Structure 1
């Protein structure tokens, strides 16, 4: 539903904003692993297609460096370690 009613979407994880992008951009090119896992978790209405749907889930990765905002495309920002 969010895909169809939102012009701009912010994804929060553990109380922090981790990705911010226009709606169409976020769903077509998610960058942060948590955003990717959320999109992969969207139910598929066709049971046959669901068999091929990956539900790997998000696993927090400990990265060196302090997370900072990166602009991956115009208006699409992701909060990640350098």
Structure 2
């Protein structure tokens, strides 16, 4: 498991456990990774399409939706294909 994989899964799990403060710290690190990923032309359009969903979940304090978006929609885009 890569560091990015662990980060996104840990963040999602922490949000699902209701540990909002700890999850927010991890989420900030996820945002840093997303900023880097948005510089990659192959995945930037797909990430940009998901970002409104992610930001809406955060704004609505929908931690389960945010967790699901991180783990099941964004993380697969960030993982290298073999």
TM-score (norm 2): 0.26
Larger relative contact order, structure 1 or 2 (CA cutoff 8 Å, min sep 6): 2
Structure with more of its chain in helix, by fraction = 2
Q: Which has the higher strand share?
A: 1
Larger Rg: 1
